[in-house]
Every structure is written in structure tokens, then in C-alpha cells.
Chain A
Amino acid sequence: MPLIKLVNITKRFGKITALNDINLSVENGEYICILGPTGAGKTTLLRIIAGLLELDEGEVYIEGQLVNDVPPEDRNTVYMFQQFALFPHMDVWQNVSYTPSIKDWDNDKINYVTSEILEMVRLAERRDAYPKELSGGMQQRVALARGIASGARILLLDEPFGALDARLRVNLRSQLRALVKSQKLTTIHVTHDQEEALMTADRVVVLRNGRIEQIGDPNQIYSKPRSIFIANFVGGANFIEGNVKKVDDEGSLIEFRDDFQLRVSTPSTNVGEKVVVTVRHEDTLIRTHPVIGSNNFSCHIESRIFIGDSMVYVLKLENGITKSSKGLLSDNYVIHNIGKQRIFSFQPGKCLIFSYPQTGLLQEIEAV
């Protein structure tokens, strides 16, 4: 039996359908990330599970029980959002022990649980500090500790690292996952950061315009995106518009601008169909010579951007289209200079093929 089950959830705000027929089951102990752009309905979904919002249609089950009419405090959930909402006049200890104390535990048990949890979030030494004396990361850990101290088995986290430094987020997210896994808690974590979702979740739920576009483990979402939107939103990719020229045992031959051709190892397309081929920036190589068995295009280096561990190159193919290639510094430690003539190379097996979207390609990939 799933711990949380959402059946045909719909929620409207005036004319806008924030959630449209959502079905989702979450197993006990699972770490789920809900990923999507602003306005996708992520927070609405989380607030419905928490009981902070009433839904228009559908059913929410927690531990097998229909909870549509159960108030938030009785749902075995704790809801945490970006602004940590600690009590400013209470020190760390008081903030964390506040929840158990209102539940009328005896003092020994409150003391034991509180010190255990502070140990767990590595804040035992700061038990007497007030929130304003702590860094953002520490405050977030206090909020997390307080959530765990409540005894709730389900953590609902709404952009829990949104207000923190990028570098600190990277550290905290792996600590958070380790912590909730060790406590066998079930977590639903809302984020717009695809890297955060891929690195922490057991399963990722991609939400778009109030609908679930795909559910899968991080590897499925990344390597087998169900739509152009997901390929772009999760990880990013090169998009090439073309027509299917031929379908054979080795896959498909696609013709794109100026009769250029590329091979995709997926055969399931119809000759003549207008398609979009995607290939990840990081699945492409820049070489001085063609790579056997790959798609190779002569290009010149237009620009390069150093983004930390990787270098991103923008390349212009001879038919005038612009594509990008990204690689870890160590792979591309040969740094290519702007203006150089090179080969842009990628394997047919790294390409995915999609039907050309009815509303146009831009609609699917534009970030605004």
C-alpha cells in the first residue's frame, strides 16, 4: 500500500487550472522531487497534500485513509518552506523542542529527542543561539530539525534551499537526503532546480501547466525524456529540426537544413515526417578529426563559456545553424580557440527523436 496516494486531483484558481487530474502514488520511505517551472503547480500540489489548500476534485489518501477532510495537523505531515519561519525570540533548543512540548510529552523524552535531533543536524553546540545569530544554512537545519522533532513521518519541503548559497545547497541537499533516509521518513521535495532533483530524488515528478508530464527515476528522466519540454528543462539539449529521409535497420536518417544529414539509432519514425532530434550538449564532442560511427559536422568555434568544472562551446555548422557542446574540463582540456575549424561529433545512439510539436518548437523550449 502506498503511503500517499493522490487520485484525480484537480484544483482551480478562478479561470486557471493549477492542477489538472493528478494521479501519484508515493511509497513509504521514498524521496520524491516535484520538478517544474514557475507556475507549473508544484506548490499547489504540496499544499494540497499538507491540507493547507482544499481541492476541487479528487482524493488524497495518507496511510490508506482518505484525508480530504482531515486538518493539516492530523495528517502526519510537516510542511517546510523557503522562508524558514523560526521563532525569532526562541533559541535553537526552544525552536526544536517546541513541537514535542505542545504534544504534551514528558520532559525527559523531549530532552532526549531534541538533543538527538540537534546532534543529527550538527547543531548541538549552537543550542543556545538565536536564529539571527545563525547563518542561513544553519537556520535551515534548525527548521529541518524542528520538522523532524514533530514526529511526523512525511516531510513536505517547498524549495527548502531556495534562499541559500549555491555552493551550500550542494552540501545541504546530500546531507538532507542522508538524514531523511536514516530516519526512514518519506519526503516530497518541490524544486525548480533540475540538478537538485536529479541528485536527491528516488523518483522525479515533472510537472508542467498543472499536469504530470513524466514520472521516473533520475536516470529515466534524463536519458529517456518523454517530451521535448523535459529534454530541455532537465539538462538542456541541442534541438535539430528536420525530416525523416529513410528508415532502416540502423535507425533513421534525418535531413535538416541545406540537405545536411544525420543518423539517429531509433527506427520508429515515418518517412517524410517532420521531427525534432535532440542531443545533449554533454553528449557531443569537439574533435580535429571525424569520429568513426558518429555524426560528424565541420564547424567553427563561435564562442566559449567557462562555467566551473565544464566548458561550453557555441559552434556554427556550415549550413549556418548554431549548436552547443559541453564537456568537463578534463575531457576537453584541449581548449579550442574562437574561430578554429573543428568537427562537431555525436553518436546516433545519443540522439532522441520527437514528432515536431504542433505549437512549434519554441513554445516547448523557450524559458521566459
Chain B
Amino acid sequence: MPNVELIKITKRYDNVVANDNINLAIKDGEYVSVIGPSGCGKTTLIKNIAGIIKPDSGDIFIDGKRVNDQPIEDRGIGYVFQNIALFPHMNIWDNVTYGPKVKGWSQKESTPLVKEMLDMIQLSTRVEAYPSELSGGMQQKTAVARALTSRAELLLLDEPLGALDVKVRAKLRYELRRLVKDLHLTALHVTHDQEEAMSISDRVIVMRKGKIVEIGTPFDLYIHPKNIFTANFVGEANFLEGTIAHILEEGSIVDLKNGLRLRVTIKNHKIDDHVVIVFRPEFGVIRDKDDNKTFNRLSGNVIEILYSGNIVRYKVKLVNNATIVFTISLSIQDPKLSVGDNLSIYVPPEHILTYPYPKGGLSKELSLE
């Protein structure tokens, strides 16, 4: 159950800085995921820790020991990646016992561990099967078991579920987490799937252009992201430009033009500050026209309606010409709106986040590419 510490890790490929002065501490027993757009350096980060590549500068500590010069096999890690790399000519048992065999362990030493591992992944009855006889999900579980039978305590997972169907992924991700927690391992898991990261991690690292943008619990990243990029990357959100019109005792009023004003709870702004306000599509509430609460209402016309299961997603063009997305669950309310209908949405001030307008422009902050 080792901890991992990275100090000022930098790795360049030609003129691209894939990891740019990264500092990171992962605690004993933590399950940490890394997300970020393609090319953000997340795979480079995990390869640096695994020892598959060497950083240009900086130090890597595993369990308190500096491992920069240690080869991959001495770092006490299990490494699993997307392309399931089982030996096709070996059955499951031989695949899983391969590591201990190479290390020269006696069978007496390795067999109990291998059996435990196969029990954990619920494949004890399939030890005779060859990889080609197993489903993708079973193969990937075997790959995880194989990575762990060399007594690795740090599990490095690079898109471990990437090659699998959505449905299988959603099931296996919880099995992965359970395995890591039950065996008291530490895990670092790189994924391109935000939901996967959110649902199984103690903490999530958001990377962009070789740097760590933010680290936090899934809930904090979603509800209180520290910056606009994170807010956008971990889930859908509305981003509206405005200026601070008033400072109140309990917050500020943001002017969104054409008569639209929203009260926000954040108050460390000055009058006329150019800001971006952010709220999640599911935090709006439909208000009747005759409702007397007039503050924090956004009005406009429905321009698109999409259904995803019992979630309805309305695209609304506001009177200031900005477009917002608003979702509600049909099991709570069915407003039966049609395209063209006028809609009035109340956005609770406590669910609005406010950020200074980014210097490079808003669309650049929201770019996922």
C-alpha cells in the first residue's frame, strides 16, 4: 500500500511538453483517476511512474524511495493497459502465474496468491480456458490479476476498460475499485471517460496541456470546480458572459444584457468586472409565469428538445440571444413543452459559479481539443 510522490516532473517530446513541472502526492490506499483531453499528458504521467519512460527532470518517489533509476520490474507496480496483452497460447492459470514463475518463486509460494486473485476476479472456474475463449471483460480481469500476482501494491491502469463495451465497462469499473480496496492497493487510473473517473475515484486529477489543472474529489470537481476548464470537462454546463452590476451584502448581481440579471453568492468582485457565470443544466427550476419570485429568472424560447431516457434536455434561446441547456427528470416533472414555447427558468444563486473572464477568451477555455 505505497504512496506516490512526484516532484517537478517534466517530460518533453521534441517541442511538446507532455508533462510540465508536475507535483503530485497520492496517499496510501487511494484510488486516483487522471482525466483530460487527448494529448494532455495523462498517459505520459502514468508511464513516468511505471518507469516505461524517464522524465527529463524531477523526482519520483514510491513508498518514500526515489525510483527514477529503478527499472520497471523493481518498482513494485502492476501495469495494465487498454490492449489486453495476455499470452494467447497459455491458459488463464499459466497467464496469471507467469510473473511469479519468471521471478523464480516456488509454486508453494505463488499458488495461494494466484488462487486468491482468481477468486477475486471470479474466474477460478475458468483456469483452463484460453484467452480467445473468454469475453473481453474476462480477459481484461485476467490481465489485472496477472499484473497483481507479482505482489504489486501500486496498480497503474492506462485505459484498462477502453476496449470494452459501455455496459461491461460500467460493471467492471466497480469490480476494479473493490479489488483495489479489498487488497489494500494504491491505484492510479487513466481514463477518457469522465463518468468512469467520477464514479470510482477517491480523487480525480484533471490535466490539460501537460499540467495539472485541478485535483479534487469527484463531488467537489463537479459542484465547486476551481476553474472554467474543469467545470466544462467533468460535465455539461452553461457558460454565460456578464459584468458585475452591483455588490450586495450576500453576493453580487451579474448583468447578462437585455434585462437579464442573476444574483450570485460569490462576492469577491468589483463593479464592472467582466465575468463568466456557470451553472449545470440540471440546477434550473421551471417557474410559472405568475410566480411572484421574479429574481434569478432566465426567459427564452425552446429551440430544441432531446430525450435521453427519462431526462429531457431543452435548449433555450434567451432574450439576450445566448443559448442555455436545461435538463429535468421526467420522474420528477413533465412540463410537456414543445419547440417554440416560452420558458422561464429559475436558477438558484447558490448553484451559480462565477469566474473572472479568461484572458484568452471563453471559447479557448472551453476547447476540448
Chain A residues at the B interface, C-beta cutoff of 8 Å: 37-38, 135-138, 164-168, 170-171, 192-195, 198-199, 218-219, 222, 233, 235, 280, 282-285, 305-309, 312, 327-331, 350, 367-368
Instruction: Evaluate whether A367 and B171 lie within 8 angstroms (CB atoms) in the complex, with A167-B368, A193-B166, A280-B309 already known.
Output: yes
> What residues of A have a CB within 8 angstroms of the CB of B200 in the complex?
305
> What residues of A have a CB within 8 angstroms of the CB of B164 in the complex?
38
Q: Is the CB of A233 within 8 A of B167?
A: yes
> What residues of A have a CB within 8 angstroms of the CB of B138 in the complex?
368
**B199 contacts chain A at the CB level, 8 A cutoff:** yes
Known: A168-B38, A194-B166, A199-B306. 8 other contacts (CB 8 A): A38-B165, A38-B168, A135-B369, A280-B310, A309-B236, A367-B137, A368-B137, A368-B138
Distance to closest chain B CB from A11 (angstroms)? 21
Q: Is the CB of A305 within 8 A of B199?
A: yes
**B76 contacts chain A at the CB level, 8 A cutoff:** no
Distance to closest chain B CB from A365 (angstroms)? 10
Q: Is the CB of A37 within 8 A of B167?
A: yes
28 CB < 8 A contacts A-B: A38-B136, A38-B165, A135-B38, A137-B38, A137-B369, A164-B192, A165-B368, A166-B195, A168-B37, A168-B38, A168-B369, A194-B167, A195-B308, A219-B307, A222-B309, A233-B167, A283-B310, A305-B174, A305-B199, A305-B200, A306-B222, A309-B222, A312-B199, A327-B331, A329-B222, A330-B285, A330-B351, A368-B168
List residues of B (121-137) whose CB comes within 8 Å of A's CBs: 135-137
The CA-CA distance from A218 to B232 in the complex, in Å, is: 27
Q: Mark B147-189, 1 if CB is under 8 A from A, else 0.
A: 0000000000000000011111011001000000000000000
Q: Of the candidates A165, A167, A280, A330, which one forms a contact with B282 in the assembled complex, judged by CB atoms under 8 Å apart? A: A330
Instruction: Evaluate whether A309 and B235 lie within 8 angstroms (CB atoms) in the complex, with A328-B282, A331-B329, A367-B171 already known.
Output: yes
Q: Is the CB of A367 within 8 A of B329?
A: no
Q: Is the CB of B329 within 8 A of A282?
A: yes
Q: Is the CB of B310 within 8 A of A308?
A: no
Distance to closest chain A CB from B164 (angstroms)? 8
Distance to closest chain A CB from B351 (angstroms)? 8
> What residues of B have a CB within 8 angstroms of the CB of A137 in the complex?
38, 368-369
Distance to closest chain A CB from B52 (angstroms)? 21
**B193 contacts chain A at the CB level, 8 A cutoff:** yes
Distance to closest chain A CB from B67 (angstroms)? 30
Q: Of the candidates A37, A167, A171, A328, which one forms a contact with B327 in the assembled complex, judged by CB atoms under 8 Å apart? A: A328
**Minimal Cβ-Cβ distance residue in B for A285:** B331
Q: Is the CB of A331 within 8 A of B332?
A: yes
Q: Mark B191-205, 1 if CB is under 8 A from A, else 0.
A: 011111011100000
**Minimal Cβ-Cβ distance residue in A for B327:** A328
Q: Is the CB of B199 within 8 A of A368?
A: no
Q: Is the CB of A308 within 8 A of B167?
A: no
Closest 4 CB pairs of A and B: A135-B369, A328-B282, A367-B167, A166-B193
Distance to closest chain B CB from A23 (angstroms)? 25
Instruction: Evaluate whether A307 and B199 lie within 8 angstroms (CB atoms) in the complex, with A137-B369, A282-B309, A368-B138 already known.
Output: yes
**B218 contacts chain A at the CB level, 8 A cutoff:** yes
**B234 contacts chain A at the CB level, 8 A cutoff:** yes
> Which of B194, B280, B331 gathers the greatest number of chain A CB atoms within 10 Å?
B331
> What residues of B have a CB within 8 angstroms of the CB of A309 in the complex?
222, 235-236, 280-282, 327
> What residues of A have a CB within 8 angstroms of the CB of B105 in the complex?
none
Instruction: Evaluate whether A308 and B192 lie within 8 angstroms (CB atoms) in the complex, with A285-B331, A367-B171 already known.
Output: no
**Minimal Cβ-Cβ distance residue in A for B141:** A368
Distance to closest chain B CB from A298 (angstroms)? 20
> What residues of A have a CB within 8 angstroms of the CB of B167 in the complex?
37, 192, 194, 233, 367
**Minimal Cβ-Cβ distance residue in B for A305:** B199
**B318 contacts chain A at the CB level, 8 A cutoff:** no
Q: Mark B335-352, 1 if CB is under 8 A from A, else 0.
A: 000000000000000010
